[in-house]
Amino acid sequence: MKNFIFKVLVGGESSAGKTSLLRRYVDDFFDDSSVMTVGVDFFTKELNFDNIHCSLQLWDLG
Please tell me the predicted confidence (pLDDT) of residue 59.
98
Extents of the domains making up the chain? 2-61
Residue 62: pLDDT over 90: no
Closest among 51, 44, 60, 61 to 5, alpha carbons compared: 44
Q: State in Å, rounded, how far the first CA of the chain is from the last one.
A: 35
For 27-41, b where at least 16 C-beta lie within 10 A, e where not — what string? eeeeeeeeeeeeeeb
Please tell me the predicted confidence (pLDDT) of residue 46.
98
Element (H, E) at 22: helix 18-27
Kindly report, residue by residue over 3-61, the tens digit of the pLDDT: 999 999 999 999 899 999 999 999 999 988 888 888 999 999 999 999 999 999 999 99
Please state the pTM of the whole predicted model: 0.85
